[in-house]
Structure 1
Amino acid sequence: MENRSWTPAQLLELSGSYWSTCALHAAVKLKVFTCAATPQAATEIARKCGCDLRGLTMLLNAMCGLGLMEKSGDTYVNTPFANEYLSQSSPKYLGHIIMHHHHLVASWGRLDEAVRTGSKVRVPSSHDSDPSEQESFLMGMFNLAMQLAPKIVPQIDLKGRRRLLDLGGGPGTYAIHFCRENPELSAVICDLPTTRAFAEKTVASFGLSDRIEFVARDFDTDELPRGFDVAWLSHILHSWGPEGCRQLLKKAVKTLEPGGLILVQEFVLDDTKDGPLFPTLFSLNMLIGTSQGQAYSEGELKDLLSEAGVTYVRRIPLQLPNGSGVIGGVVKG
């Protein structure tokens, strides 16, 4: 648990911080940063974004207040940071994950109901029902993974291993980075059929279609492909309750040859479960959107892996944001 001394001013700042969040979401949704990559008059940005001039000017001024845009007279332009991460023309664009956050706002407004009843309030699932929300979710996962994969992949030794299963891999970001880091490695992305188009497009953009394939599977009902010597599960277990995790890990272990390596990445709680902050909040996000999902502690994840027949279970020493961690071990021979 983080010890913090609060003041009334800080408490009220926290309570109203959603104003800034919603302003950012609106600017991304309206493609304001894409239109303001170069200096533009407010009238021109309003025309390009299809917005009312009065409303758009207020939003532009708020983005200046947040330090994401700069203003000179009636002319606005992104800061270099905003050009790099908020303009759709940038390869580092983070707008997809920001839009995924936007699609969660309505259900977070019903958190009290979810806590009172213990039931999810996001119905139907935000990334199953609407194509634009599905794209925001899948490509948002790509955004996040592109931030983390370069920090994780070089520190995991896959020397001598030839075939990797990216289970629930979405667009395949980790499969891509593992294959780029290990030239003799091939990979299979295993996810729902609706993910195929996003994954194949992403893999092709990295020129790895000859080494990475997509296999459609429903984890709840389908058997998984076999014959791998590495299984990677990134942010998958939190969607299930403990029993669901047990069943999925048993399936994952069956995909591996004896001596195979299984690696699980999650937002990891302390064993006391009162920190770090992000995993505690992420657990609430799972309460809102899933029937049994939650964040898990390091001890719980290690126990789940051991129960599935994994030995030499340990947490890989990585310095990652938001309490993210990687725990893995070896399947018995």
Structure 2
Amino acid sequence: MTPHTDATSGHPLQPYWNLALASVQADALRVALELKLFRLLAEPMPAGSVAERLRLHPDNTEHLLEILWSMRLLDRQEAATPAQGWRYQASWLASRYLDHESKQHCGDAWSLRLQALRHFGQHLDEQLRTGEASTAPRLAGTAANWQAAARLQIAQEQRAATAEAALAVFSQLPEFPRAQRLLDLGGGPGLVAIALAKANPNLRGEVFDLPETISVAEENIHAAGLGGRLRGRSGDLIRDPIGEGYDLIWCSSVLHFVPDIDQALGKIHAALRPGGVLVCVQAEIPDSQDAARQMLSYYLSMRMLGRQLTHAGGLRQAMQRAGFSALQTQHEVPFPVTPVTAVIGRRSLQ
């Protein structure tokens, strides 16, 4: 039976037409970031003045500002006279996250995500036929590119979202205020460890990641004045020691990259002291179609590279197998690109 369409419900194809429209919105944001438009519009300004300042076509500039307004990236107000049209200003969201002078600027990270996703999409048919991945040169997994990502993309996302999410999870744990030793496993630029150390003045610990990334973490640690409490430890989770006797371990989006989740979790369990806590944050495939769509869209490229993405409940089950107890699960933890699941587990005192 054909679904009935009326004037209020819209056409069944509308969600798929929206996919094509989203591409235009993404390019509108990309151009706005390239023009540093949100810094220029820190104060209200008419479209004509924007065009004059940036040497753009006046009418087309107004059209761009209108679509950015529709995306809630700009606010607008009436000018002094109707002939002047609207005056546009960066919204609070754009000012906080997309103004290149903001401390929480995430525009470069967003642009790199867009580049990577579009490159993957353009080569999807080829990858289906051959099974071979095609990675944009700037995004290939070389040592130099990992270091660059830690310094720019990952750092921006940790400042804008990850560190705040970690603080929200740890602040609910009764163990956090009295914890003394932390391991930020796969911590990249180390900004999560820095945020946790600032929140708990008794906390000392290590950021563990690949050698090319740890140099960035150590730069950030010293810039934060925490060189006496935090340090970097370089290595590979599977092959190298990660230390022991930790009160807290933060493990974020690491298990996608290991060949054996059970082996990795067993090693993490052994690194905790009795009574220690692991907060493991990973994307999982939800049971709901609508919830799964966003997750699978982002992780399709990684899954085609052989990375692991568990289904809902899979991470909790793996932690149980590794010996973690008193498990707690938090769904929809806000994270870069797509919400994730946090599973909290403890090493028993026995």
TM-score by length of 2: 0.77
- SS of the aligned residue for 2:313 comes to helix
The 5 A counterparts of 1:1-333 are 7-39=12-44, 41-43=49-51, 45-46=53-54, 53=57, 57=61, 59-69=64-74, 73=84, 76-104=88-116, 105-122=118-135, 125-126=139-140, 128=142, 130=145, 135-142=151-158, 143-159=160-176, 160-204=178-222, 206-240=224-258, 243-270=259-286, 275-287=291-303, 291-308=305-322, 310-312=323-325, 314-317=327-330, 320-321=333-334, 322-331=338-347, 333=350
Root-mean-square deviation (CA, aligned residues, Å) is 3.3
The farther-off stretch of 166-175 and 294-303 is: 294-303
Query: How far off is 1:186 after superposition?
Result: 1.3
The AA in structure 1 aligned to 2:32 is A
- SS of the aligned residue for 2:237 comes to coil
8 Å contact from structure 2 (residues 150, 188) kept in 1:
no
The AA in structure 2 aligned to 1:270 is P
8 Å contact from structure 2 (residues 183, 207) kept in 1:
yes
The farther-off stretch of 185-194 and 205-214 is: 205-214
Q: Per-residue displacement from partner, 1:278-320 (whole Å, max 9, x unpaired)?
A: 33333314135xx321321243212322333x23152334652
The AA in structure 1 aligned to 2:241 is E
- SS of the aligned residue for 1:25 comes to helix
8 Å contact from structure 1 (residues 226, 254) kept in 2:
yes
8 Å contact from structure 2 (residues 74, 90) kept in 1:
yes
- SS of the aligned residue for 2:102 comes to coil
Query: Identity of paired residues, percent?
Result: 25
The AA in structure 2 aligned to 1:68 is L
The farther-off stretch of 159-168 and 271-280 is: 271-280
Give, in whole Å, the separation in 1 of the partners of 2:28 and 2:261: 37
TM-score by length of 1: 0.80
Query: How far off is 1:234 after superposition?
Result: 0.9
The farther-off stretch of 187-196 and 274-283 is: 274-283
- SS of the aligned residue for 2:248 comes to strand
Query: How far off is 1:266 after superposition?
Result: 1.0
- SS of the aligned residue for 1:328 comes to strand
Give, in whole Å, the separation in 2 of the partners of 1:191 and 1:55: 50
8 Å contact from structure 1 (residues 273, 280) kept in 2:
no
Q: Per-residue displacement from partner, 1:43-69 (whole Å, max 9, x unpaired)?
A: 45426xxxx557983644542443423
8 Å contact from structure 1 (residues 280, 295) kept in 2:
no
Which ranges in structure 2 are unaligned for 5 or more consecutive residues?
Answer: 1-8
Q: Per-residue displacement from partner, 1:4-62 (whole Å, max 9, x unpaired)?
A: 99622332122331111122123223422223323452245426xxxx55798364454
8 Å contact from structure 2 (residues 327, 346) kept in 1:
no
User: Which protein, 1 or 2, shows the higher relative CO under an 8 Å CA cutoff with sep ≥ 6?
Assistant: 1
Give, in whole Å, the separation in 2 of the partners of 1:327 and 1:168: 16
Q: Per-residue displacement from partner, 1:124-170 (whole Å, max 9, x unpaired)?
A: 54464547555443224312314423432211232443111000011
The farther-off stretch of 166-175 and 217-226 is: 217-226
The AA in structure 1 aligned to 2:113 is H
Do the aligned partners of residues 311 and 76 (structure 1) sit closer, same or farther apart at CA in structure 2, a change above 3 Å counting? closer
Query: How far off is 1:251 after superposition?
Result: 2.9
CA radius of gyration, larger in:
2
Aligned residues: 321
